[in-house]
Amino acid sequence: MSDAGQLQLLRQAAVAAREHAYAPYSHFRVGAALRATDGTIFPGCNVENSSYPAGICAERGAIAAAVAAGYRTFSHVVIVTDAEHPTPPCGICRQVLVEFSSQLEIISVTTAGAETIWSLSDLLPSPFTPQSLPHL
Ligand SMILES: [Zn+2]
């Protein structure tokens, strides 16, 4: 994605999704915007739960929305938090993301303007994928 305008749209979608984050326990609000390879954008936010393990991260919320809409290949995800440093996806989200797009580019930004870019293959160098299952 070389188009700066597309990146700006992704950032805006992630910022808007973060506004809807449900984080009454951690107060750590996260927004995500996942870009399908055709350019369609799927937002996500973290949704916590009083039964703490039932909560879901913003990235997985975005993946679930995209898959429900029929999308399975993605090029970028933007993550927004108000942390001091850009936040990488957690281990569970890395695993869920690699199921669909091992070459995903992850752009993490803070509300203060810091930015870090990773490739998913850098964050999860030896992934367990569908090809790891012996019957496939
Ligand atoms: Zn996560």
Per-block average pLDDT, block size 10, for the chain (136 residues)?
A: 83 98 98 98 98 98 98 98 98 97 96 98 96 85
Range of the domain at 102: 4-41+56-117
Q: Give catalytic residues, as residue numbers.
A: 59
pLDDT at position 3, please?
78
Give me ligand 1 centre to Cα 136, in Å.
Answer: 27
pLDDT at position 2, please?
56
CA–CA separation, 106 and 126 (whole Å): 17
Q: Is residue 112 part of a domain?
A: yes
Give me ligand 1 centre to Cα 91, in Å.
Answer: 6
Q: Is residue 125 part of a domain?
A: no
Q: Starting at the edge strand that comes first in sequence, how are the strands of the sheet with 105-110 ordered? A: 41-45, 31-36, 74-81, 105-110, 115-119
- Our count of domains for the chain comes to 1
The CATH number given to whatever domain includes residue 66 is 3.40.140.10
pLDDT at position 98, please?
97
Give me ligand 1 centre to Cα 55, in Å.
Answer: 10
CA–CA separation, 118 and 108 (whole Å): 8
